[in-house]
């Protein structure tokens, strides 16, 4: 079986790992990067709590001992499901079976101004760009005598009250409290405002009511201005305008309010569901397209439990990849396939030091505060690839916990993305 996997995220990497060294399966894993990115900790890279290398792991190193997995770096430019080929900017590959695991990217919902001026955070590079912009604003603040410009530079707006927005807002608030006043003693950080905008009536809307309430309490405790039922209308690089007419002057808007699937060219438009996801059946096979599967954030599967598709989170991707590996073996043997059913093991989010929320569905439990924070840290440490990465992440966390500081606030000019004019 000649198998091509598109994407080295949680889904693609898990599938390749499970099928590694399997006889009679030849795997080519294609990704535009040569490393796996641990997305749940992007916000810590963006706020200088972790180095980018701590949450990135070379794909080739992951398969050094594999006899059947080969890595190719490239941008997918087209899929031909009739002739069974995948075209990249580097080469053309043929397949017997194709697995699309290209994940998701930022969804600006067609707002060109947001796309131009707001900062997303869906890759390590974007997290670094955000870090550089965040720090550069305070450097610029030292050189202005205009109170309005100064306030604009010290206002930060985070859009989206899901886990990413909540975690990012909390991390920036801790920077304001513990680090920035020591780095920039010339600036008055009592004037720094961190706004979290959420279109619904609560933060962490996908979690339990208790988690939503706790997260709001924790954010307010840290000094974040949480604005629920607040929809962003536009942003011109200097001023945020809300649907209700309210304006906020800010030089930094962080967009964490939506994602959409990374659909490769060649997939029929009739197979694209809401959120730019590919429609699949209960076996993750793309509807009416033989020998092509989609797993993870890119896959849209309806069942009695999830009528609008599964949540776009890592556990879904990992479970779908694990089952697909078994089903590919079954295809080889001519056995009946097993339908996918998601086993929800819970959800969690951290807000800051000693502050987190954890929901467990069965038995129905909720944890908040320090104990939930320990659970959050332990699970994320286990999920990070590589012993060295686990060690450095833990060491950084321990150092930061003891010293209330980190020495990663560096601006690399070649990475810094200046606002487009």
414 as an active site residue: the answer is no
Within 8 A by CB and 6+ apart from 35, the residues are 8, 56, 57, 58, 59, 124
Distances in Å between the alpha carbon of 65 and those of 62, 97, 190, 242?
8, 23, 54, 53
The CA radius of gyration of the chain, in Å to the nearest whole number, is: 22
CA–CA distance, 217 with 15 (Å, rounded to integer) = 40
Q: What are the backbone angles phi and psi of residue 325, rounded to the nearest 5°? A: -60, -45
Distances in Å between the alpha carbon of 369 and those of 138, 174, 217, 300?
31, 16, 11, 34
CA–CA distance, 369 with 129 (Å, rounded to integer) = 31
**Dihedral angle at the C-alpha atoms of 38, 70, 315, 397, nearest 10 degrees?**
-20
**Among the listed residues 119, 37, 34, the one whose alpha carbon sits nearest the alpha carbon of residue 75:** 34
**Among the listed residues 364, 365, 367, the one whose alpha carbon sits nearest the alpha carbon of residue 356:** 367
Length of the chain equals: 421
Quick check: 256 and 225 in contact, CB under 8 A? no
Of 126, 167, 174, 198, catalytic: 167
Helix (H/G/I), strand (E/B), else coil: 272: strand
HSE toward the beta carbon, residue 51, CA cutoff 13 A: 16
**Among the listed residues 416, 108, 110, the one whose alpha carbon sits nearest the alpha carbon of residue 255:** 108
Quick check: 307 and 270 in contact, CB under 8 A? no
List, by residue number, the catalytic residues: 167
């Amino acid at each position: 079986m000649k198998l091509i996997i598109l994407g080295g995220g949680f889904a693609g990497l898990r599938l390749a790992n499970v099928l590694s060294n399997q006889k009679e399966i030849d795997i080519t894993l294609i990704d535009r990067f040569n490393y796996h990115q641990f997305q749940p900790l992007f916000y810590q890279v963006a706020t200088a709590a972790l180095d980018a290398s701590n949450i990135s792991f070379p794909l080739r190193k992951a398969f050094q001992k594999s006899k059947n997995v080969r890595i190719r770096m490239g941008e997918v430019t087209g899929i031909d499901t009739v002739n069974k080929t995948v075209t990249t900017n580097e080469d053309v590959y043929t397949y017997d079976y194709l697995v699309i695991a290209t994940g998701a990217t930022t969804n600006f919902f067609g707002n060109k101004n947001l796309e131009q001026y707001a900062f997303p955070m869906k890759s390590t590079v974007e997290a670094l760009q955000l870090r550089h912009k965040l720090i550069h604003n305070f450097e610029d603040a030292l050189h202005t005598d205009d109170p309005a410009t100064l306030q604009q530079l010290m206002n930060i707006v985070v859009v989206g009250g899901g886990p990413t927005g909540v975690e990012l807002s909390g991390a920036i608030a801790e920077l304001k409290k513990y680090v920035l006043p020591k780095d920039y003693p010339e600036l008055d950080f009592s004037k720094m405002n961190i706004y979290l905008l959420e279109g619904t009536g609560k933060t962490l809307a996908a979690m339990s009511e208790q988690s939503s309430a706790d997260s709001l309490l924790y954010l307010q405790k840290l000094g974040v201005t949480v604005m629920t039922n607040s929809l962003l209308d536009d942003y011109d690089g200097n001023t945020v305008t809300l649907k209700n007419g309210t304006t906020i002057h800010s030089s930094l808007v962080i967009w964490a309010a939506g994602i959409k699937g990374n659909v490769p060219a060649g997939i029929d438009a009739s197979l694209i569901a809401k959120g730019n996801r590919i429609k699949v059946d209960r076996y993750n096979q793309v509807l009416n397209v033989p020998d092509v599967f989609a797993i993870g954030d890119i896959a849209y599967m309806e069942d009695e439990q999830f009528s609008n598709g599964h949540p776009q989170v890592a556990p879904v991707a990992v479970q779908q990849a694990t089952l697909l590996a078994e089903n590919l073996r079954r295809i080889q043997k001519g056995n009946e396939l097993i339908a996918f059913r998601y086993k929800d093991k819970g959800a969690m989010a951290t807000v800051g030091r000693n502050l987190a929320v954890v929901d467990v569905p069965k038995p129905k439990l909720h944890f908040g505060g320090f104990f939930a924070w320990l659970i959050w840290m332990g699970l994320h440490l286990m999920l990070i690839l590589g012993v060295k990465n686990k060690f450095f992440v833990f060491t950084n966390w321990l150092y930061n916990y003891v010293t209330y500081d980190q020495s990663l606030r560096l601006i690399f000019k070649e990475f810094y993305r200046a606002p487009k004019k």
